[in-house]
Amino acid sequence: MSRHLPPRRPTAVTSLVVGSLLVVVPSPGTAQSASEILDRALQRYEQRAEGIHDYTVVQSTEGDAMGMGMPGAASQKVTTIYFEKTMVHGHPVFVQHNATLDSLGQMQELAGVSRSTAETLRLMKEHASLQGTDVVEGHECWNLHVDDPEALAHFQEAGGGDARMRRALDMCLDKEEYVPRRLTLEGDTSVNGQTRPMTLTSTMSDYREVDGLLYPFKTEVRMSGVASSSMSPEEREKTRAQLAEAKASMAEMPEAQRAMVEKTMSGQIERLEKMLADDALTTTFVVQDVKVNAGPPRKGDGGGM
């Protein structure tokens, strides 16, 4: 028969020893600097990379920024992204092959969706400062900050264009898994000779382990400032007027016809109203499938490459 022993009252010597150990041995969530945190993240990354030679991600993309020339249009696209491991200065990096050069591909690169995590972690290691902690969707994170324009030059939008994201970078790094939960880039964008502030926030969630690879199965990218940059004040007013006219026309339609149009157009109208209200576009990447060590995907597998 088992019995519960009363708790043992610590002696003064015991308390002194335990207190000393707590000072000397840091808890798992304690770190002295951003560099140490990022070192641990890189170590975890390289441990996970062992035995992984390549991986393929099939994802669907939904949201406003699919067609940058048609703000607010409801869109969906399925793409396949292939990553292959290469060694850079003795460290593993997964490089994307057959990257698309359209506006969506550029946004993915800029948002960190298709960039190797190791590249971002190493970029930040020599330049980041620890700015306390944060909680992202219930996960405790370290908040790491970079405001060195030279360090951030790597994050300049790929494929030409005039966008510049060079003022600041913040990463919320998961304390338990050492993976990014949120990336925020602040900078300026220049369109038609006018420069305006722009913020891009990527929130990574639903991390799943597939054959050793830990990957976010959902990434939401929010771009604020992009609507005012892509449309002049006159164009915004014209868009508002066209939206009001379309809604008025729908109100005059027979009930059956109106229901059919609302079913088809409601998503587009909601996105357009939201974009005009808060000057932001939101795109969500949802992973459909991940294959590890399967080699390059065949043409036509899971969408275009």
Q: Is 111 exposed, middle or buried (0-12, 13-18, 19+ CB in 10 A)?
A: buried
CA geometry: angle 52, 182, 288, nearest 5 deg:
50
- Smallest Cα–Cα separation from 120: which of 175, 179, 162, 59? 179
Map tokens 């997964």 to a residue.
94
Tokens of 50: 């062992």
Say what the pLDDT of residue 275 is.
61
Residue 15 has pLDDT above 70, yes or no: no
The percentage of the chain sitting over the pLDDT mark of 70, rounded to a whole number, equals: 63
Say what the pLDDT of residue 205 is.
96
- C-alpha 112/C-alpha 126 separation (Å) is 19
**Rounded average pLDDT over 54-60:** 93
- C-alpha 218/C-alpha 181 separation (Å) is 11
Q: Of all helices (H) and strands (E), which one includes residue 246?
A: helix 233-251
Q: Which residues are bridge partners to 180 per DSSP?
A: 173
Q: Return the number of other C-beta atoms located less than 10 Å from residue 66's C-beta.
A: 19
33-292 adopts what CATH topology?
A: outer membrane lipoprotein receptor (LolB), chain A (2.50.20)
Q: For 97-141, how does the pLDDT look when each residue is reduced to its tens digit (9 = 90+)?
A: 765 544 455 555 555 555 678 888 888 888 899 999 999 999 999
Q: For 25-34, how does the pLDDT look when each residue is reduced to its tens digit (9 = 90+)?
A: 344 445 479 9
- Dihedral in degrees, nearest 10, Cα atoms 66, 202, 118, 128: 140
- C-alpha 174/C-alpha 181 separation (Å) is 6
Least confident of 44-53, 75-84, 213-222, 265-274: 265-274
H helix and E strand count, the chain: 7, 10
Say what the pLDDT of residue 248 is.
83
Tokens of 150: 């030279």
Q: For 182-235, how does the pLDDT look when each residue is reduced to its tens digit (9 = 90+)?
A: 999 888 776 666 777 888 899 999 999 999 999 999 999 988 875 555 566 677
pTM given for the model:
0.68
Say what the pLDDT of residue 44 is.
95
Least confident of 36-45, 168-177, 187-196: 187-196
